[in-house]
Structure 1
Amino acid sequence: MTDLLDGVRDHYRATGLIERLKAPLAALGPEERPLAPEQLSGLDQFHTRGLAATTELAKLAGITGDMRVLDVGSGLGGPARFLAAAHGCRVTGVDLSESFVEAARYLTGRTGQSGQVSFEAASALELPFDDASFDVALLQHVAMNIADRARLYREIRRVLKPGGRFATYDVVLRDGEPHYPLPWARTPATSLLLTAEATREAIEPAGFQTLIWHDDTETAKAWFAELRASGPPSSPNLGVVMGPEFAQLAANLGRSLMEGRLGILTAVFEAATVR
Structure 2
Amino acid sequence: MTAITFRHPLDFGRSGRFARSAVLLVATLALLTAPGSSHAMDRAEAVKLSRKYLTSDDEEERHHLLRQLARYNGTFEPVLRELQTVRFEPVVSGYLPEEHFTVSDLLDKHPDDLLYFTIPKSYRPDRPTGLVIFMHGGGRSTSRYAPRYSLDFPENSDHKENSQLGDLFDSTGMIAVGPSSPDKRSYYRWCLRESDEYLADVICECKSRFHIDDDRVLLLGHSMGGFGAYHHVQRQPDRFAAVIVNAGSWWLAHWPVIRGTPLFIV
> Is the shorter-chain TM-score for this pair beyond 0.5, marking a shared fold?
no
Q: Which structure dedicates a bigger proportion of its chain to helix?
A: 1
**TM-score, normalization: structure 1?**
0.27
Who wins on radius of gyration, i.e. which is larger? 2
Q: What TM-score, normalized to structure 2?
A: 0.28
